[in-house]
Structure 1
């Protein structure tokens, strides 16, 4: 999962922005670490804060790469033949959605979970090593999971339709207004939930 501490915080008033981002990251990490037959790794920007590593279990691979194509290459070098990059601001992401992406890799080289509203991606799964067209697309200028047109760009780069199927979408928590998307009745996201205790979500 890529983690970049820069940018605006979705933390409500009275909650430290850096602490809130780290709490969301930890919740996303716990989702990935809880999947069967999956080894969780942490992908961080080379200039990212060292305390990001404190949220992981001992032995978790740490990949310091700034771009998706480089992150996938590093995960392949660690022995992965499939991998998914997950954004750090989807703390309540259901594990089932990630499972659907990995299942889609049985018939496609990549699969994506789009952010609600079509603005960027929540997760991108791929078979490794990446095919040349996908590696080139992920290495394009401004290409990141945050890119509003990320899915469209990946599909446009594919040599034929259907090579980047789309799984069910999910929301991201990028602004204080997005906090209303969190469902208190949904299991998980304990670290984010603890920081939001006493803050209205609706």
Structure 2
């Protein structure tokens, strides 16, 4: 990656609001502890990259428990309640305000995401305004046509108007997010797709973690003794 471009890789920390149910966790594991372990490991992937600045996007804006997983000096983007505009477009705009020229937004539940995939998204921005890494479909299917949301979305900043408008109705959990964004593009080829990867959104998904791979240390420690 070029050293002359200012880049951010931001992890989205989306905490359930009052009245909302937390995502399910493996048996015997506290859902909030599980969420934070996944978040911290995903953040560590971003923080370990060279030539980029890691960041954390907080939605809702006050999450001291999420802030605690970051390194000192990490930029924090607070969504809503007087902070950045809501949604992915608001997060990208806030990163642009931090002088970022290219940015990647990561889902918070990909603790073993290979850094190489993020690098491929940045390289794709050399010829396109955005690029996406699609989430593997339920059951571990990784076909390029799988519709199961996104693991990561990269963009050159500021966003073109058509992409900013399209993101108003899309987030990383939208099953057909990539299809919707491509449908909004003025011509084909403006959102290339990088290799897919899995997210941990259900208890059964922990079988996707490879104990032989380095990384995801917090998740690994939390799941010690949990059958997979």
Q: TM-score, normalised by structure 1?
A: 0.95
TM superposition shift of 1:170: 0.3
Q: Please list the CA deviations of residues 112-134 of structure 1 after superposition, one character each: whole Å capped at 9, or x if unmatched.
A: 00000120000000000000110
Work out whether 1:114 is the aligned partner of 2:134: yes
Asked if the contact 1:41–1:61 (Cα under 8 Å) also holds between the matched residues in 2, the reply is yes
Alignment equivalent of 2:96, drawn from 55, 58, 76: 76
For residues 194 and 183 of structure 1, what CA distance do their matches in structure 2 show?
A: 14
1:130 aligns to what?
A: 159
Counterparts of 2:24 and 2:192, CA distance in 1: 30
2:195 maps to 168
Unaligned stretches of 5+ in structure 1? none
**Structure 2 residue 109 is matched with structure 1 residue 89:** yes
Q: 1:43 aligns with which of 34, 45, 57?
A: 57
1:1-202, aligned counterparts within 5 Å? 1-6=11-16, 7-65=21-79, 66-117=86-137, 118-140=147-169, 143-201=170-228
Q: CA deviation at 1:187?
A: 1.1
SS of corresponding position for 2:53: coil
User: Where does structure 2 lack aligned partners over 5 or more consecutive residues?
Assistant: 1-10, 80-85, 138-146
User: Residues 139-185 of structure 1: CA distance to partner in whole angstroms, max 9, x if unpaired?
Assistant: 13xx1110001000100010010000000000010000111111111
TM-superposed deviation, 1:79: 0.7
Residues 47 and 78 (structure 1 numbering): CA distance in 2 closer, same or farther, change over 3 Å? closer
> 4+ residue stretches of structure 1 with deviation over 6 A?
none
Larger helix proportion of the pair: 1
Distance 1:186 1:10 in 2: 24
Instruction: Report SS of the residue matched to 2:196.
Output: strand
In 1: Cα distance, 2:69 partner to 2:110 partner: 16
RMSD of equivalent CA atoms: 1.1
What is the aligned residue count? 199
Please name the residue that 2:144 is paired with. none
Q: Equivalents in 2 of 1:116, 1:53: separation in Å?
A: 28
1:5–1:48 contact (8 Å) kept in structure 2: no
Aligned 8 A contact 1:8 1:175 in 2: no
